[in-house]
Structure 1
Amino acid sequence: MARSWIMKQVWSDLLFMHIPVDEADVIHRIPPGLELDTYDGQAWIGIVPFEMKGIHPRGLPAVPYVSQLFELNVRTYVKHGSKSGVYFFSLDCDKPLSVWIARTFFHLPYYNADIKVARDEGQTRFEAKRTHKGFPAGEFAASYKPASAPFRTQPGSLEHWLTERYCLYTDKGNQLYRGDISHDPWELQLAVCDLEYETLSAPFSRSSPDVLLHYARELHTYIHSYQKL
């Protein structure tokens, strides 16, 4: 059972860009103790730009500056025992204080980045450039918008497998952690995306040129305290 939540976040204006990749390029990038999760034998990575807002610890109000940020994360999908979750390779963010908090207290690979977001007539343009000193560069620029009515994913479908995950895994040294996340099921929409450039998927060999695109308007999430594994 998940522990009591410690932080609330509202995730909004998300693009899920999922790319099928060769398992061999992913498996050595996840820590010992985690198993790469695949769908019908296929490994996936996700590139997800979005806005996070309404951030506040339980029992405290949202604080200006740290209560809103833009984020661009790169993830894959893993298991620990029978518990499926998300493992992040990188999380680029435009708020240095938020980066420091996430790296220091949540052991997550957050990086400082310049991020510019513009919205016009239902379309979002999201541009990010990593600026974190001493770490590899990363760039992304794309315009995206929803292209269907909202829908709930069906259990057993690829879309459900990719998105309906309620914990993250991370590590520090030789210690694994699991952080549970509570939220309602995703309401997704099909998406269209004009990708200008991105370097984040460069370390991975694509097993297909196809990219799976989904959009989500907003989701209220509750973050729980970590458990050591």
Structure 2
Amino acid sequence: MSDFPASPVAARRLHLMRQRWSNLLFAHWPVSPELLRPYLPARLEVDTFEGQAWLGVVPFTMSHIRPLGLPPVPGLSALHELNVRTYATLDGVPGVWFLSLDATQPLGVWAARTLFHLPYLHARISLKETAGTLRAVAERTHRGIAPATFAATWTPGAALPLAQPGTLAYFLTERYNLYTAGADLQQSIRRPELWRGRLWHEPWTLREATLHEWDSTLVESHGLPTPLGPPLLYAADPLDVQVQELRRV
């Protein structure tokens, strides 16, 4: 579970990067922890809620990207992203573990793989809003990686109450750390090295979401079975994010 709300001191930490996340949809399925165990390094524990692990697919737009002390760079300050994730803990500290992060900005993919050791992959992604309904379409283009496609259409609905500690919504969305072990997932799960990244942002404003279309091979591209049943959905309002630190643990 997350350690938010952070103290005012944490909010003022020296940040590496600022970003804005918008057009975001959390889509999750319950799965057995044993199914995900081979996809995590030995040092990480699969994080569970009432004994159940969760597998997520999250499309969103990242904009206003700028490193510490620098203005946004035209043409490099925005991208669309589509990640496959689960949740893990190390020494009791909860975080996100990414199986893949498909993204549209080639330089951003290179930087994330090289500087942040994250399994970012090149992809073509469009994410557009029409009359309050969002549609994301993606095709992975990364060489040497299993192909994947994605198409989803959803409409955000009414705002939900602020997620509270101990609830499933809080477990799935209020995550302020990430773990990574390298840009190549299959190699990284065999390495002892781990990094923990720290994020800071206000709590999510979550919304109901109505799904009109879902056609994806993202999960299957990792050799995992197709998730069963419709996903648990939360749409989210835009928010500003600070990437505060990345430390070897």
TM-score between the two structures when normalised by the length of structure 1: 0.95
Identity of aligned residues (%): 44
Matched, 1:47 2:57: yes
- Per-residue deviation, 1:152: 1.0
Say if 1:10 and 1:220, in contact at 8 Å, map to a contact too.
yes
Per the TM alignment, residue 208 of structure 1 is displaced from its structure 2 partner at its CA by 5.2
1:16 to 26, 29, 53: 26
Could you report, residue by residue, the CA deviation over 1:74-100 in whole angstroms, capped at 9, with x for unpaired residues? 100000111100000000001111111
TM-score, length basis structure 2 = 0.88
Pick from 38, 50, 64 the counterpart of residue 28 of structure 1.
Answer: 38
Q: Does 1:211 align with 2:231?
A: yes
- 1:193 maps onto 2:211 in alignment: yes
What is aligned with 1:174?
Answer: 192
Please state whether the residue corresponding to 1:104 is helix, strand or coil. helix
Aligned partner of 2:134: which letter?
T
- Structure with the largest fraction of strand: 1
In the other structure, the counterpart of 1:60 is 70
Give the number of the structure whose residues are more often helix, by fraction.
2
For 1:131-179, what per-residue CA distance to the aligned partner results, in whole angstroms no more than 9, with x for missing partners? 0000011111001121212431122110011111101000134310000
**CA–CA distance in 1 between the matches of 2:94 and 2:107?**
30
Question: Which 5+ residue runs of structure 1 have no aligned equivalent?
Answer: none
Does the 8 A contact of 1:52 with 1:69 survive in 2? Answer: yes
Partner Cα distance (1:68, 1:207) in 2: 30
Q: How far does the alpha carbon of each residue in 1:9-58 deviate from its partner, in whole angstroms, 9 at most, with x for none? A: 10001000011112222111011211100000101011000000000012
Root-mean-square deviation (CA, aligned residues, Å) is 1.6
Unaligned runs of 5+ residues in structure 2 are 1-8, 183-190
User: Matched residues in 1 for 2:132 and 2:43: separation?
Assistant: 42
In the other structure, the counterpart of 1:114 is 124
2:146 matched to 1:136?
yes
